[in-house]
Chains A and B, each alone.
Chain A
C-alpha cells in the first residue's frame, strides 16, 4: 500500500477539528450544542461564518485524506514501545492531576493548567525521542507556574535549568553561567528599560 500516513493524520486532524467546531457552533445534522445563532444570508448571525468555515474545512480534510491513499508512502517516524508508554502515562497523569486539583479547589490563576502541563511534559521527557519536546515545554510551564508566586528571577532559573537538560552538551558550569547572564540581561531589558510589571523576587512570604 502506498499510503501517505502523514497526510492521513493531517486530514484526520482537520476533519476532527471541523466536526468539533460544527458540533459546538450550530449543531451537526441536528445534534450538537447550537451555541451560536446562524441568522440568514442577509443578516448573518454569529454562527454563520463559523458554519461556512468549518464545512469548508471538513471538505478539505476529506480531500486530504482521499489524496493520502495515492501519494505515499510517507511514513511517520517509528515509535518505540517506550515512546508510546510515556505518551500514555504523560497524558493520563496530566488528566488525573487536573481532576485532583479540580476536586481540592486549586484553580486560581491558571495553576490548574500549568501544573498538569508541567507534570505531563516532564513525564514525556523520560523517553529519549520525546525529550526535546517534553523538556522545552516543561521549562515553559515551570516559568508560568513560578512567575507570579516566586518572581521573575526564580522563574528564569527554573526555565533555564529545565530547558538546558534538553541539550546533552550542557554541564553544570555552563548552565550556571548561562542562567546568571540571562537573568542579568532580562533584568536590564525588561525591568530596567521596559519596566514591565512583574515581581522580581518571591511575593508569597
Chain B
C-alpha cells in the first residue's frame, strides 16, 4: 500500500503544470534528435544541461529523462521508414523494419514499435518504482569498502559491455578516473594537476568533457564523411496491425520487455545493448526465425520494446545507489550534483518529490510519446528534410553559449575545444568515450570511499575481501574479467555487437 501512496504523491508532483510542460518538452526534443541522425541523447543532454540550471532539480531531471526515452521512440521512426537508424539502439530495428516498409507495412511496423515501447516502458517504470525503495534499504547497509567494490564492478562491467576492445575500454575507464583527479583534493585541500589555473580547482568541467567529446567530436566526424540521404520509400500505409501480426508480436514484446529490463540495470548496458540482445533472442526463439531479415514483425517488436524498457530501468542503479549505468546516466549524476543533490541511497528518503515524481513522469512521458509519435509521424519525417549543413552550426552555437554560461568564463569554451580534439583522436583510434565519462564521474567517489575504507581498516587492504558484501562484489569483478579472457565468450560478444 505504501507503494500506492508513494505513486499518488509522485503523480501529484508529475502532474504539476511545470513538470508536465517540461516532460512534454523533453519528449519532443528526444523524438526530434532520435529522428535526426548525427546527434544523440548524450550530446543533446550535455547541450541542455546548462539550460536546466534555472529550473528546480525535479523539473530538470524530468526533462532530461524525457530526452533519453524520447530518443528511443524517435530513433525507430527513421530506422523503419528510411533504413536510417537515428540512434544506435535502433540499428537492429532497421533490419526488419525497413523491409516491412518496403512491403508497404511501414504503418504496422511503426505502430508495433510505439505500442511495444509504451508497454515495455510502463512495465519497466513499475519495476523502478517497486525495486527502488527495496534496493535502497540494502544500499544503506553498505560501508565504504562495499561501495568501492560496487563501483569497481560497475566500471568493469561497463567496460566489458562497451563496443570494441575490452582492454581499451578498461584503459579508457582508468583514463576517465585519472581526469577526475584534477582539482582540489577534498581531504587536504591541496591542488592536484591544476597547473596554477584557478578555473581548474573545481576539477575539469563535466559538461565540457561531454560536449567536447560527444558533441563537437561527432560533428567533425560527420562532416568528414558526408552521407547521401536516402529518400523515403513509399507511403506509411495503414497504422493498424492485422490479427496475424498482432498475434505474432505479443510474445516478442513480452520477451523484449524482460530482456530490456534486465540488461538496462547492468552497468554499461542500456538501450543499445538490450535491443541487440532481444533481436538475437527473437531470432533463436521465434517460430518465424527464418523470416528474420526479410521483414519479420518480431524483429521490430522485440528490440523496440527492449530498448525502451532498458531506457527506464537504467535509472535504477542511479536512483538507488547513485551509480550511473551508462553515459546518459553519468550526465544525470552531473545534473544532480550541479543542482546540489548527491545521488545515492539516501535520495529516495531525502528527495521523495524527485524520486517518485520522476517515476510517474516517465509513465506520463511514455503516454505522451505514444500520442506524439503515431498520429504525427509525418511531421517527424519532414524533420529529416533539414540538411546537416544547417544543423551542425546550430549545435555548435548552443554548445558554445551553453558552456560559457556555466561559469561565465571563456576558459570553459577553450576547455570544450580541447576535449573536442581529444574526442576526435579517440574515435579515430577506436577508443570508446562512454567508459571514460563513467570513469570520470565515478572516480572521485571511488577515491573517497577507498580512503575511508583504508582508514577504517588501518591500512589493511584485506577489508575488501573480509566484508561479505564487498567480497561477493570483488568475486563478481574477477569472474567478469576472467570470462572476457575466454576466447569463446569474447567472440560471442563481438558477434553480437557486430550485427
* Minimum CB–CB distance for A205 against chain B, Å: 20
The answer to whether A159 and B400 have CB atoms under 8 Å apart is: yes
Q: How far is the CA of A50 from the CA of B451 in the complex (A)?
A: 12
- Which residues of chain A come closer than 8 Å to B420, judged between CB atoms? 136-137, 140
The docked-state distance in angstroms from the alpha carbon of A192 to that of B359 is 32
| B414 in contact (CB, < 8 A) | yes
The answer on a CB contact under 8 Å between A117 and B414 is yes
B336 within 8 A of A: no
Q: Which of B69-77, B110-118, B121-129, B423-431 contacts A (4 or more CB under 8 A)?
A: B423-431
On whether the beta carbons of B401 and A46 are closer than 8 Å, the reply is no
A61 in contact (CB, < 8 A) = yes
User: Is B168's CB within 8 Å of the partner chain A?
Assistant: yes
Tell me the complex Cα distance, A166–B246, Å: 48
Chain B proximity mask over A37-77: 1 for CB below 8 Å, otherwise 0: 10011111111111001101100110110010001000011
Chain A residues near B411 (CB-CB < 8 A): 110, 113
Q: How far is the CB of B20 from chain A (nearest CB, A)?
A: 19
Whole-angstrom distance between the Cβ of A167 and the nearest chain B Cβ: 4
Specify the main secondary structure of chain B where it touches its partner: helix
Q: Are A109 and B410 in contact (CB under 8 A)?
A: yes
Residue from B394, B401, B414, B455 within 8 A of A152 (CB atoms): B401
Whether B451 pairs with A44 at a CB distance below 8 angstroms is yes
Enumerate chain B interface residues (CB-CB to A < 8 A). Answer: 51, 54, 165, 167-168, 170-171, 174-175, 177-178, 181, 185, 187-188, 190, 192-193, 216, 219-220, 223-224, 387-390, 392-394, 396-401, 404-405, 408, 410-411, 413-414, 416-417, 420-421, 424-425, 428-431, 443, 447, 450-451, 454-455, 458-459, 461
Q: A61-B171, A169-B387 are in contact. Are A132 and B404 (CB under 8 A)?
A: no
* With A25-B192, A53-B178, A164-B389 already in contact, 19 other A-B pairs whose C-beta atoms are closer than 8 Å: A6-B430, A9-B429, A14-B171, A14-B175, A36-B190, A49-B181, A57-B174, A117-B414, A117-B417, A132-B224, A136-B220, A140-B413, A159-B393, A178-B394, A186-B397, A189-B51, A194-B405, A196-B405, A198-B408
* The residue from B170, B387, B424 contacting A133, defined by CB atoms under 8 A apart: B424
CB of B429 within 8 A of CB of A198, answer no
Q: Across the two chains, which residue of chain A brings its CB closest to B181? A: A50
- Which residues of B are found within 8 Å of A155, using beta-carbon distances? 400
Sample of 22 A–B contacts (CB below 8 Å): A14-B171, A25-B193, A41-B459, A44-B450, A46-B185, A46-B187, A48-B451, A50-B192, A53-B177, A56-B174, A64-B167, A137-B420, A140-B396, A141-B413, A143-B400, A144-B417, A152-B401, A155-B400, A160-B397, A169-B389, A194-B405, A198-B405
Q: A46 with B192: in contact, given A40-B459, A136-B223, A140-B420 (CB under 8 Å)?
A: yes
Most buried by B among A40, A60, A198: A60
Q: Which residue of B lies closest to A132 (CB)?
A: B223
A78 vs B451: C-alpha distance in the bound complex, in angstroms? 47
Q: Which residues from B are CB-within-8-Å of A197?
A: 408
Report yes or no: A44 in contact with B454, Cβ–Cβ below 8 A: yes
Chain B residue numbers with a CB within 8 Å of A77 are 428
Cβ-defined contact, A60 with B171, below 8 A: yes
User: Is B392 a contact partner of A167 (Cβ separation < 8 A)?
Assistant: yes
Q: Which of A154-205 contact B (CB under 8 A)?
A: 155-156, 159-160, 163-164, 166-167, 169-170, 174, 178, 182, 185-186, 189-190, 194, 196-198
* Minimum C-beta distance from A129 to chain B (A): 8
Provide the bound-state CA to CA distance between A43 and B443, in Å: 18
B167 close to A147 (CB less than 8 A): no
A132 touches B178 (CB 8 A): no
Q: Evaluate contact between A198 and B167: CB separation under 8 angstroms.
A: no
The listed residue (B167, B216, B389) touching A60 by CB distance below 8 A is B167
**How distant is B406 from chain A, measured CB to nearest CB, in Å?**
10
Q: How far is B170's CA from A104's CA once the two chains are assembled, in angstroms? A: 45
Q: Which of A60, A137, A156, A166 contacts B397 (CB 8 A)?
A: A156
Min CB distance B431 to A, Å, is 5
How many Å from the CB of B331 to the closest CB on chain A?
19
Please, which residues of chain A bring their CB within 8 A of the CB of B216? 136-137, 140
Give a binary string over A140-152; 1 marks a CB under 8 Å from any B CB, 0 the rest.
Answer: 1101100110001
Contact of A64 among B51, B171, B190, B400 (CB under 8 A): B171
Nearest chain A CB to B120's CB is how many angstroms away?
A: 34
- Whether the Cβ atoms of A141 and B178 lie closer than 8 Å is no
Which of B219, B398, B429 is the one whose CB lies under 8 Å from A136? B219
Say yes or no for A86: interface residue by CB 8 A criterion: no
Contacts of B193 in A (CB 8 A): 21, 24-25, 50
Residues of B within 8 Å of A182, CB to CB, are: 393-394, 397
Binary flags per residue of A111-145, CB closer than 8 Å to B gives 1, else 0: 00110010000000000000011001101110110
- A64 lies within 8 A of B178 (CB): no
Q: Closest approach, in angstroms, between the C-beta of B200 and any C-beta of chain A?
A: 12
